[in-house]
Structure 1
Amino acid sequence: MIAIDSMMVCLDLSDIDETLVRFTRTVCERLPVKKVFFVHNIKTSELSDDFREYFGDVNISDEIEGNITDIVTEHFGRATEYEVLVSEEPNTEVMMAELVKRYSVKLTLLGKRMSDKSTGALGTKLLRILPCSILVLPETASFNIANVLTPIDFSDASVHALHLSKSLADQLNLNLEIMHVYKLPTQYFPLISEEKAIRKAEEVVKGKFADLQKKHGEIAGVPYTLVRAAGKTVAERIEMQLHKREYNLLVVGLKGNNPIPSLSLGSVPTKLYNMDINIPLWFVYSEEVIK
């Protein structure tokens, strides 16, 4: 069963904040969440001399905390215990990483605008640096979740994401599907026929699925789809699969084996995050990776 002791919600004082707070309420109504931290950081570098000259000694932290509290009171109510945290630090992502460690945050909720409105740079940094799983809510996403897609590559990270997806599906009565994107060694064409290569590749992958189902019996009945990359990236094929059925949530495992933080995220999650996908994306770290 999925239970979240502490959850952090990142707010930026824009119109997406109300959406994030309402979605947080939905999460708390469907999953056991003990406490939520609504967080905003005032970057000290953004407080210009003109601002200080115009507003004087006004306590901006108190003003912002009051504004966030009003939004939470209206759109979150008393769904569960919560706290509003406003800080003034030069580096937002480092500050949030410290909060994750201090309060043992298991899940961070992050809003995302479409690419024509935002570069998504901060979100990418948070994905790389926060030592917890991250649920990304695009501004166009629906709160109604019925169908879940989990891409796997048979790594420990993707198997962990699959276990979380299965637990979520069982807990909330959702439909879960698995997909795997495979590539062919095209450098050997035309020495071997493409048809034979496809047949062999799918045979190998089906064998991996059979082994996975034997090892993890609880996923034996979950339907899976094999998709050939065929000139597309894995992320592009995943995005294309999302358009073939009305999926409402994408769950992706994050790897953390690389000691260099900027390289530990992996190319597929990075590309998926930067795409204009209009459903929530749950990027999952295992407890072992976080430790």
Structure 2
Amino acid sequence: MYQIKKLIVCLDQSELDETLVKFASFVARVNQTKKIYFTNVIRNLNIPKEVLEEFPNLIDNIVEERKTKMKDLVTQAFGKIKDVEVSYVVKEGQLSKKILKLAHEKSADMIILGRKVDLTGTGVLSQRLARRASCSLLIVPEHSVPKIDKLLVPSDFSDYSKDALEEAVMIVEKYGGKAEIFCQNVFSIPSGYHFTGKTYEEFAAIMQMHAEINFKKFIRKIDTKNIKITPLYTKDEDDDPVEDILAKAEEINADGIIIGAKGRTAATALFIGSMAERLIQMNHKIPLLVTRPKGKNAGILDYILEI
């Protein structure tokens, strides 16, 4: 996986901004990050032409005020990191389009944005960016604390699961190699299991056995760099694997969940997978990293920005 050399941090002048700045600092410290763009998007102002003629500096003053507030916050919360260039970008328009365009223009490696729980706001931006961004996306719920002791990687042993686990290994290696990675496979029992003559419990054991075999094949493809990776096998009882993932994340006190975007080629770039979609919708406690090989959406971005 690639290094996080260019980072975009989406701020909105809410209390969540301080948390996002702290996460940006945490990410930048060991990733050889060279450039961070702290970004704020002003919704369409719709100021009448006559008003702008009377007050020609109004928009410039609004932009400058927002930049100043971002600078003050970053100065207080970011701390000193050598060799990192910081820029403040204020745009006007539709939030998701402006962030996507900026990420494309700057060839960003990661976008960090917040997930509001008690604060006013929605998760729509997270879903749009996860589908359309040409880089990885870190979604940080309010009150989160940046640390890496335990990471949970849901896995169905696919190529995009491999991307996510490799990202987790790289993150842990960069942060000293002492954190533990849990690789969780959620398996279900097919409704026709009784035609085999096996009991529910017997067939569940068979399904888990095959999951264990598949994990061993899967892990052989990955350079684990001697980092501890613990496999977890969870039987899905209610046909909702995302609830099982979130329950396990809470049970092990995970500091983050990492999942791969399903769209790994230009042809499938708009698909992040139903599990990733549901995790974005339902998770409001644990930082969630949606990984995507850099640039996979770039070929269709011009079309997206016209939608």
Q: Who is 1:210 aligned against?
A: 216
Deviation (angstroms), 1:104: 0.9
CA RMSD of aligned residues (A): 2.5
Q: Who is 1:87 aligned against?
A: 91
Q: Who is 1:275 aligned against?
A: 282
Identity %: 25
Q: Who is 1:239 aligned against?
A: 246
Structure 1 segments unaligned to the other structure (5+ residues) = none
Instruction: Read off the aligned partner of 1:93 and give its amino acid letter.
Output: S
Q: Secondary structure at the match of 1:4?
A: coil
Q: Secondary structure at the match of 1:243?
A: helix
Instruction: Read off the aligned partner of 2:289 and give its amino acid letter.
Output: W
Provide the rounded CA distance (Å) in 1 between the counterparts of 2:215 and 2:221: 10
Which of 120, 137, 140 pairs up with 1:137?
A: 140
Q: For 1:52-78, what per-residue CA distance to the aligned partner results, in whole angstroms no more than 9, with x for missing partners?
A: 69x944221122112212222222244
Q: Is the 8 A contact 2:63 2:90 kept in 1?
A: yes
Provide the rounded CA distance (Å) in 1 between the counterparts of 2:159 and 2:15: 38
Q: Secondary structure at the match of 1:134?
A: strand
Provide the rounded CA distance (Å) in 2 between the counterparts of 1:274 and 1:171: 29
Provide the rounded CA distance (Å) in 1 between the counterparts of 2:293 and 2:118: 29
Q: Is the 8 A contact 1:38 1:85 kept in 2?
A: yes
TM-score w.r.t. the length of structure 1 is 0.89
Which of 117, 121, 126 pairs up with 2:124?
A: 121
Provide the rounded CA distance (Å) in 2 between the counterparts of 1:119 and 1:288: 27
Q: Who is 2:184 aligned against?
A: 179
Instruction: Read off the aligned partner of 1:235 and give its amino acid letter.
Output: V
Instruction: Read off the aligned partner of 1:114 and give its amino acid letter.
Output: V
Deviation (angstroms), 1:47: 4.2
Q: For 1:237-272, what per-residue CA distance to the aligned partner results, in whole angstroms no more than 9, with x for missing partners?
A: 0011012111111111111158476x5122211111
Provide the rounded CA distance (Å) in 1 between the counterparts of 2:268 and 2:277: 15
Provide the rounded CA distance (Å) in 1 between the counterparts of 2:221 and 2:6: 31
Structure 2 segments unaligned to the other structure (5+ residues) = 299-307
1:4-19 maps to which residues of 2 (within 5 A)? 4-19=4-19
Provide the rounded CA distance (Å) in 1 between the counterparts of 2:122 and 2:95: 16
Specify whether residues 104 and 147 from structure 1 end up closer, same or farther in structure 2 by C-alpha distance, changes over 3 A only. Answer: same
Provide the rounded CA distance (Å) in 2 between the counterparts of 1:162 and 1:260: 20
Q: For 1:61-112, what per-residue CA distance to the aligned partner results, in whole angstroms no more than 9, with x for missing partners?
A: 12211221222222224422110011122x2212211111111100110111
Q: For 1:19-47, what per-residue CA distance to the aligned partner results, in whole angstroms no more than 9, with x for missing partners?
A: 21122112222332111001111121x44
